Amino acid sequence: MTGDAARLTEQGRHEGEIDLGLRQLRRRLGQVPEPHRQRIQSLPSEQLETLGEDLLDFTSTLDLDTWLSRH
């Protein structure tokens, strides 16, 4: 795989992680506020994976606020 192809593959994977995280949050909490969406879209893959695990314990957007302020 060339450098460009690898970069595009990684970019696509990252976008998929973002999409999955946002869908899980919508299902868990309802509508995700735009500032939160923007912040989540800027997270690196490692933090998206952590969010994907931690959101299972969220009960409100306040939990998401707290999580985002710590990461």
Tell me the backbone φ, ψ of residue 47, rounded to 5 degrees.
Answer: -75, -30
Q: Is residue 27 predicted with pLDDT exceeding 70?
A: yes
User: Which of 46, 47, 49 lies closest to 69, judged by CA?
Assistant: 47
Per-residue model confidence as pLDDT tens digits over 28-71: 999 999 999 999 999 999 999 999 999 999 999 999 999 999 99
- Asked whether the beta carbons of 64 and 25 are under 8 A apart, the reply is yes
- Indicate the pTM of the whole model: 0.84
pLDDT, position 17:
95
Q: Is residue 22 predicted with pLDDT exceeding 80?
A: yes
pLDDT, position 13:
86
